[in-house]
Chain A
Amino acid sequence: MTNIKSFTTIGLDNLLTEFSQVTSFRKIKQMNLTSLARVSFLSTSFTSRTLNRSLAYRPISCSSLSHTPTSLNPNLPLFLRPPTFTATVSDLKKWQNWAKSLALSVGSSFADSDNGPDSDILHRELNWLIEDTLESPKSLLLSEHDAVLTLRAELGDLYSLWKQRIEKRRPFQYIVGCEHWRDLVLSVEEGVLIPRPETELIIDLVDDAIKQNVELKNGMWVDLGTGSGALAIGIGRILGDSVRVTAIDLSPIAVQVASFNVNRYNLQDKISVKQGSWFDPLSEFEGKLAGIVSNPPYIPSEHINGLQAEVGRHEPLLALDGGENGMKDLLHLCNGVALMLKSGGFFAFETNGENQCLFLVQHMETVHHGRFYNLKIVPDFAGIRRFVTGIRS
């Protein structure tokens, strides 16, 4: 059984169509050597047949692609990989045109079904994928048809990556292994929440808070549930030299990825990344923190099933599911903030929208009466009341 499993992960991972997977697993149940051999033959021939239609150069094994969610070594984002592959302009254009028509076939069907991306967005993603893949993105425009370009991924891999994007709805950011967030380019991979553009605003909120109270610059800041480390790095870059930030996440992958990103921005002296649940690793800092920010899981459990496929099927549930009403973690954070912040300390949380904001503010005003002032609800750029901020009295 294990043999077969490893065969499928190494050799055919992501490439097998559902059909062949079903076939192989049904056969595997029989645990019969002959049929096992036949299965492997069947699936390989199936794969190569599907591929041959559009690509001749795709090797059957594609280990470079296989993303195992439990891996502890962060994958290098595409744009940082060494440009060790080559392809001619015409071959790359052939792939580009194929990918374009695949994107075009989507139309608005994803958007209609679950508010997913439409062809327009997919085309844009395709351009970015090319941008990340090519060593010099302009060379595609300038070169002759038979010129050879240097790529950061094999052309065959590009075919399967784009197929994953469209057919499996694998998020674009996982495909290229990075997300552009504010002025940062953060490495992301399966198991780590892709930072959202809304969250960019928290950095501005922190910036405003520091302007009002310069002392906050010198204290310890905490990003709870850091994921890719976006908030911690963003804060680390605006706070200046004296800053100390602790980024905390329960997920070991997130800790790995966040550390990678912190190192990439050369902030390892200012930001420490720790594994643990919320405030657990912070017991020594009780009542001493200058600021706390968090983008905790806040989607109500009952909404998880209806999520956009890119989110629901691929992003870590741990970073999304906020329990009943989505308030489980937010409330926990609220109570923790009252305990951990020093006087004058600032906090900012992201929420699922107006209801959660109102509930939080009400909770703080009643349960933690008098402990906070300047409680504010801040809308995001789409006008949805997204953030709750406040200052510890």
Chain B
Amino acid sequence: MKPTAWEDAAIVKGRKTLFLLRQYLKSKGASEPMGWARFASTWIWIWNWWEPAVLELELVQPVPVPNPKIWDLVGPVPVPNPKIWDLVPAGYLFQFRPVPTKSDQFQFRPVPVPDPKTRDPPVPIPVPDPEKKTNFVSPPDYRLQSQYFPAMRTGSMSPSPIAHRSMPSSLCRAEKPSVTATFLYSRSVFPLSTSLSLPSPCHSKVLFATPDADVSSETGVWAMQDFYTLRKEVEATSSRVEEIRASAGLEQLAEELTKLENATGSDSFWDDRTSAQQTLVALTDIKDKINLLSDFQSQIDDAETIVNLTEEMDSTDTALLEEAATIVKELNKALDKFELSQLLSGPYDKEGAIINITAGAGGTDAQDWADMLLRMYVRWGERQRYKTRVVEKSMGEEAGIKSATIEVEGRYAFGYLSGEKGTHRIVRQSPFNAKGLRQTSFSGVEVMPLLPEDSLNVEIPEEDLQIGFSRAGGSGGQNVNKVETAVRITHIPTGVTVRCTEERSQLANKIKALSRLKAKLLVIAVEQRATEIKQIRGDAVKADWGQQIRNYVFHPYKLVKDVRTGFETTDIVSVMDGELDPFIKSYLRYKYAESMNN
């Protein structure tokens, strides 16, 4: 695919600094941060996560360098083809544009230097060629680029026909006035309606809508296509109900129920009031759960009956079909809710979370990878509307970060994120070596609940703690003045270590580190089903927390795959933009199934 893109080119003129450039790119719709940019004396080069060199530009006048040291220290910038700069005459204004994904397709287009006397020099802006635009179908990495340069799609791109076709029909239908369904539903004299009108929170709203509105004539015609979609949905939901009922262990529940009922029937039941109370609570819980599960079954049965009847009767009764669609929709919502409540039932799941990212061995590449992960989680947190805060960040020498800590405040943040702990592996073409070799790097992620101070009533014996203070060398004391007051605490029996650097005094850091350590130990205790911290097995902690959990392959193909659940996607860009929900959900299901099997 030839680069078509000079019409997408933008111009930076005059003395633009990196920051102005960033602003400019953002105004163009690029998301922050764009990887990052580096200055050399006269040119700027920007690259993105997945590809070296996304943009390049040359400035009309070299940026005045206030302190030559700054630029020198940035160090040698890896250029895929260093010779390309030899071709560039100095003192020219260049346009910049997204570089096509293959680095050998670099192109430059020098433009004459504008007259410095005119305040706003005329800059040759390439005239868009409409012919070309229509030819611009779908370059291999169109999605990648469009993600970051949405403004460049300016209207010329019609939505992909494929996307349109695959849009679930339920979405289209959702736009119809829902009163239709309501009215017809309540009027229905179909025999099944008795079971349907059971008081269920799922469709209480629709039941009480006014039956006067008769709008069915407008929207009442059901195409066969819609019917098939509905049938498919009903089938899918049916298997989902089956799955949930199976994983919830209905038989076990029934057994438990009889056991508890027998217990309540015994003569000595009320002898111990507290245990009796507990038994009764457990009994109601189980009854509710069984009721809910059978409710799911009866609802999906109704929907299935409607579908079967319609098929047999050879004529479509719109009212019935609308009814089935409503049932399926509401049922799916209820199933989602049920699943989530089952999945996020850990004692700390509803708390906030602390994410700790540490670059693995492997220098700049790993540090860059850690930075990408940091961005990913921050994005995820923002998407969930959580209060997300990077509380500590230690920059890498050349690029990226050595470590970072994020605090995510919000309900269930820990429940969702707890499955993210472990080692994350990336495979890509390294932007940090000139040959662009394929490179594998690792970064570690730790997740702890953000527990309120008073809930940490665990006492850890002083002798189990090894407290280290980072204090940069020399003779210390009056000889040194550094604000670095990092504290690192190791729990000796388990080898669990936490670090805290963000506070401004040693004591504050120590207190915070200790509460983090406690939170971490509590979670590990829950994971290992230990009743107290003493019982935690250190060897298991090491194996568990260092486990490789997910692969992110950027090259030679694009794939993100979770090692534990097997869930995978090729849309790596969305994942790096924080679209983690499918992974999180699949892990939670996996965890739930695991716990059921045990």
Contacts and interface: CB of A to CB of B under 8 A. Distances in A.
B41 to A, nearest CB: 14
Most B-side CB within 10 Å, residue of A107, A117, A124, A183: A124
Interface string B48-73: 00000000000000001011011001
A123 B479 contact: no
Interface stretch (B170-178, B430-438, B502-510): B502-510
Interface stretch (B190-198, B355-363, B465-473): B465-473
B209 to A, nearest CB: 41
A384 interface: yes
A172 interface: yes
Interface stretch (A1-9, A193-201, A212-220, A269-277): A193-201
Nearest to B68: A105
Contact of A183 (B18, B70, B395, B505): B505
A120 B483 contact: no
B480 A381 contact: no
B473 A182 contact: no
Nearest to A94: B19
Contacts of A303: 479
B481 interface: yes
A171 interface: yes
Given A105-B73, A111-B472, A182-B505, A386 B477 contact: yes
A352 B503 CA distance: 26
Contact of B485 (A172, A197, A307, A353): A197
Interface in A107-121: 107, 111, 115-117, 119-121
Contacts of A107: 73, 397
A200 B506 contact: yes
Contact of B70 (A101, A181, A298): A101
B476 interface: yes
Nearest to A166: B67
Interface residues of B, number: 39
B394 interface: yes
B474 interface: yes
Nearest to B396: A120
B484 interface: yes
Contacts of B473: 115
B475 interface: yes
Given A119-B395, A200-B506, A382-B469, A311 B479 contact: yes
B482 interface: yes
Interface in A353-369: 353
Chain A CB within 10 Å, residue with most, of B64, B70, B394, B501: B70
B478 interface: yes
Contacts of B504: 128, 180
A157 interface: no
A297 B393 CA distance: 35
A267 interface: no
Interface string A79-123: 000000000001001100100011011010001000111011101
Interface size class of A (residues with CB under 8 A): 35 or more
Contacts, number: 125
Given A97-B19, A200-B505, A380 B476 contact: yes
A388 to B, nearest CB: 13
A82 B499 CA distance: 35
Interface in A336-390: 350-353, 380-382, 384, 386
A299 B67 CA distance: 35
Contacts of B69: 105
Contacts of A199: 477
A141 to B, nearest CB: 8
A117 B395 CA distance: 14
A117 B482 CA distance: 6
B365 to A, nearest CB: 19
B483 A128 contact: yes
A311 B478 contact: yes
Contacts of A105: 67, 69-70, 73
Contacts of B508: 180, 182-183
Contacts of B476: 196, 198, 353, 380, 382, 384, 386
B479 A299 contact: yes
Nearest to A115: B474
Contacts of B481: 171, 173, 194, 196, 308, 310-311, 315
B475 A353 contact: yes
Interface of B: 18-19, 23, 64, 66-67, 69-70, 73, 389, 393-395, 397, 467-469, 471-485, 501, 503-508
14 contacts: A53-B66, A104-B70, A115-B472, A115-B474, A124-B501, A125-B483, A171-B481, A196-B480, A197-B506, A200-B505, A310-B481, A311-B479, A319-B478, A381-B506
Given A180-B503, A380-B471, 13 more contacts: A97-B19, A102-B70, A107-B73, A111-B472, A115-B472, A116-B482, A173-B483, A180-B505, A193-B478, A196-B477, A196-B481, A320-B478, A382-B471
Interface of A: 53-54, 90, 93-94, 97, 101-102, 104-105, 107, 111, 115-117, 119-121, 123-125, 128, 141, 171-173, 180-184, 193-194, 196-200, 295, 297-299, 303, 307-308, 310-311, 315, 319-320, 350-353, 380-382, 384, 386
